[in-house]
Amino acid sequence: MNATNATNVLRTVRLGFFYMVLNLKTIYRQPAALFFVVAFPIMFLVIFSSLLTFEIGIPEEAGANVPAIKFSQYFVAGIMGVAIFGTSFNLLGTSLAIQQFDGTLKQLAATPLPKASFFIGLVGTALTYTVLQLVIMLILGVAAYGIELPDAHGWLTLIWIVLLGVPAGCVLGIAITKIIPSANAAPAIIQAPFLFLQFISGVFFTLASVPTWLQWVAGVFPLRWVAQGLRSVFLPDVYKFAEPGMNWQLELAAIVLAVWIVAGLGLSVLTFKWDRSG
Amino acid sequence: MPPAISISGVTKRYGSIVAVDGVDLEIEAGQVYALLGPNGAGKTTLVEILEGYRDRDAGEVSVLGFDPQRQRGELNRRVGIVLQHSTPMEGLTPREMLNFTARLYDHPMDTDEVLELVGLTEHADRRGSKLSGGQKRRLDLATSVIGNPDLIFLDEPTTGFDATARRQAWEVVRGLTERGATVILTTHYLDEAEHLAQQIGLIKDGRIIFEGDITALRREMETDTRISWQPPSGFDPADLPDEWKEVSIGADGRLSLPTQTPTVHLARLIEWSRNRGMEEIPELQVERPDLEEMYLELVDDSEALETADQS
């Protein structure tokens, strides 16, 4: 019995991998997706870091001798959050919705591809493109804009933020397909909350500048926690005094993201519609 | 050998519309079975219940021994499905799509062999967006057989094809069936069913109204010759003899009598007319409709008429 289970798990993962490879190819050959989702955050990093070269700091009351940092050092954390959500929530949600309506998923549902493999493939696709984006951003950032790389502890945080943030964004992308009425409506319906969340989640503006009630709204969704986690990676530790609760809140971030993945993925997978073409 | 498909009392309702109305079917393994009927007759709904896409409201279903509603995962390993609409796969080539699909099955066929079978060898490495409609359809066929299925569903595989493309597609389907798989074909083309199927189930308004091979269907439909004529003005239908209950009156007032014994009835008609002082029966016609016409009459559907125009 155990041997059969192990074989099944292996098969599920293996088929998920094959589906991921297929997906990576499909997206790679879509210039629009590649440009707007994968290249956009990188372009943002380049433009903002080139234009805004001033330094920023936090109020003295946080402590003495707070070091000022380059704008790019602050910005890279936020734009990486956007990249993580762009490939998971935005790209995945849009392409899933389109595939629900054009019959692609209906055909896929006729094959023995296990549901679990399908979702493994989707998350794997988002994860791959995210890692690709982040690597490019880091190389560019260090080479051209003087961004300082994190320490060992920061790297670890970066890794788990990506490993939890991408699946959480995927869950949100799968969930939003439920309210999309047609393939044409998909990009617009997904862009709206994506932009809204970017503005209230401390990506471009500090969380402290967002009204408290909107902070609460942002706190429900994963992006706020991903962005905060990324700031803990790229900003000097003393900058945590500018955060809500004067803390990076990493434990809370891990819990919120994990809840999204476990509860959200379970729910979305159970209620996922393969076919809305008819 | 147990039947490939065995269903009884299968019913599906959408609100007040009964799409499939208590259908019983037994389909032998290894044969090509055509579900023939006009659009909206319930073909696709019925087939999608068998495929596992839709849940039935009532009835028993066994496909290769599985209940598609509860055991779809197991069933999918042994079934190939060609849907009514081609799958868009703009960025991928036929070879990539087939290689991927093959990996999902336990004992897949060789990709090159399948490409050859459907005649896509030359286009194997061309992007999906560059394939013609007919080539995409052949890729659909290829995708459905690459897993070496015991049962293949083909939902209107040639709709929208011109005559040449249809003949080519039929050749491909014949090639598939020679492999010994059971094939369930839905179509609204009578000639398609005639060319491909050993058994035909005629479906109309969600019910199977005829089952048998093409010869039986021909016999069933060809039984009636039609005698028709224009009655004199002031004609009263009550004036017709009781044995002519089946006479129908056309929009132009023309009377039409379907019969298996035209000579007998023609003699009666002459006598009946003479009794009413008519030596010459106006616009008298005795005709034997061809199969296509009979089919169209049977299904009596504007969609089917459209179809006949195309072929």
Dist CA A126 CA A88 (whole Å): 5
Q: Tell me whether residue B243 is in a domain.
A: yes
**Range of the structural domain that residue B170 is part of:** 5-220
Q: What percent of chain A has pLDDT over 90?
A: 62
Dist CA A210 CA A221 (whole Å): 15
What per-residue confidence (pLDDT) applies to A168?
Answer: 95
Tens digits of per-residue pLDDT, A234-273?
A: 998 888 888 887 888 999 999 999 999 998 878 887 788 8
Dist CA B192 CA B142 (whole Å): 19
* Residues in chain B closer than 8 A to A18 (CB atoms): 100, 103-104
Out of A27, A102, A110, whose CB is closest to B51? A110
Residue B311 has pLDDT above 80, yes or no: no
Structure tokens at B236: 């009263």
Helices B291-299 + B214-222 axis angle, to 10:
80
Out of B77, B85, B91, whose CB is closest to A29? B91
Q: Of A160, A166, A157, A164, whose CA–CA distance to A233 is shortest?
A: A157
Number of domains in chain B: 2
Residue B186 has pLDDT above 90, yes or no: yes
Residue B88 CB burial class (10 angstroms; 0-12, 13-18, ≥19): middle
Residue B305 has pLDDT above 80, yes or no: no
Structure tokens at A195: 């932009």
Number of domains in chain A: 1
pLDDT band, very low/low/confident/very high, at B56 (cuts 50, 70, 90) = very high
Cβ of A55: how many Cβ atoms within 10 Å? Answer: 12
Angle (nearest 5°) at CA B227 between B221 and B233: 140
Q: Tell me whether residue A277 is in a domain.
A: no
Q: Quick check: A277 contacting B, CB < 8 Å? A: yes
Q: Tell me whether residue B297 is in a domain.
A: no
User: What is the phi/psi pair of residue B303, to 5°?
Assistant: -60, -40
If you ran DSSP here, which 8-state letter would residue A238 be given? G
Residue A69 gets the label, from left (phi > 0), alpha (psi -120 to 50) or beta, of beta
* Residues B259, B144 share a domain: no
Tens digits of per-residue pLDDT, A199-247?
A: 999 888 788 888 889 999 999 999 999 999 999 999 988 888 888 878 8
Dist CA B80 CA B4 (whole Å): 13
pLDDT band, very low/low/confident/very high, at B218 (cuts 50, 70, 90) = confident
Query: What mean pLDDT is predicted for residues A64-93?
Result: 89
3-state secondary structure of A143: helix
* Residues B199, B185 share a domain: yes
Dist CA B260 CA B100 (whole Å): 57
What per-residue confidence (pLDDT) applies to B87?
Answer: 78
B interface test, pick of A12, A14, A22, A91 with most B CB neighbours within 10 Å: A22
Query: What mean pLDDT is predicted for residues A138-151?
Result: 92
Domain boundary among B178, B202, B220: B220
ipTM of this predicted structure? 0.89
3-state secondary structure of B219: helix
Out of A18, A29, A102, whose CB is closest to B88? A102
Q: Are strands B17-27 and B32-36 parallel, antiparallel or unpaired?
A: unpaired
3-state secondary structure of B289: coil
Dist CA B294 CA B307 (whole Å): 14
Q: Tell me whether residue B302 is in a domain.
A: no
What per-residue confidence (pLDDT) applies to B299?
Answer: 67
Query: What mean pLDDT is predicted for residues A172-198?
Result: 92
Half-sphere exposure (Cβ direction) of B256: Cα atoms closer than 13 Å = 14
> Considering only residues 109 to 168 of chain A, which have any Cβ-Cβ distance to chain B shorter than 8 Å?
109-114
Average pLDDT, chain A: 89
What per-residue confidence (pLDDT) applies to B294?
Answer: 67
Dist CA A104 CA B87 (whole Å): 5
Dist CA A92 CA A26 (whole Å): 12
Chain-chain contact of A110 with B79 (C-beta, under 8 angstroms): yes
Q: Tell me whether residue B211 is in a domain.
A: yes
* Residues B237, B93 share a domain: no
Tens digits of per-residue pLDDT, B227-259?
A: 888 887 778 878 888 888 888 888 788 888 888
Q: Tell me whether residue B304 is in a domain.
A: no
Chain-chain contact of B89 with A28 (C-beta, under 8 angstroms): no
A interface test, pick of B81, B101, B153 with most A CB neighbours within 10 Å: B101
Tens digits of per-residue pLDDT, A92-122?
A: 999 999 999 988 999 999 999 998 999 999 9
pLDDT band, very low/low/confident/very high, at B207 (cuts 50, 70, 90) = very high
The answer to whether the CB of A130 falls within 8 A of the CB of A164 is no
Structure tokens at A100: 């629900």
Residue A185 has pLDDT above 90, yes or no: yes
* Residues B134, B182 share a domain: yes
* Residues B19, B59 share a domain: yes
With CA atoms as reference, the chain A residue closest to B86 would be A103
**Range of the structural domain that residue A31 is part of:** 2-271
* Residues B240, B187 share a domain: no
* Residues B130, B51 share a domain: yes
* Residues B249, B212 share a domain: no
Q: Tell me whether residue A278 is in a domain.
A: no
What per-residue confidence (pLDDT) applies to A129?
Answer: 95
Look up the pTM and report it: 0.83
Dist CA B301 CA B307 (whole Å): 10
The answer to whether the CB of A223 falls within 8 A of the CB of A198 is yes
* Residues B150, B194 share a domain: yes
What per-residue confidence (pLDDT) applies to A110?
Answer: 92
pLDDT band, very low/low/confident/very high, at B59 (cuts 50, 70, 90) = very high
Out of B88, B96, B103, whose CB is closest to A25? B96
What per-residue confidence (pLDDT) applies to B69?
Answer: 92
Per-residue CA distances from B305 to B11, B189, B293 (Å): 27, 10, 9
Q: What is the Cα A209 distance to its own chain's centre? A: 22
User: What's chain B's Rg over C-alpha atoms?
Assistant: 24
Q: Tell me whether residue B247 is in a domain.
A: yes
Q: Tell me whether residue A117 is in a domain.
A: yes
Dist CA A74 CA A57 (whole Å): 10
User: What is the phi/psi pair of residue B124, to 5°?
Assistant: -60, -30
Dist CA A79 CA A49 (whole Å): 11
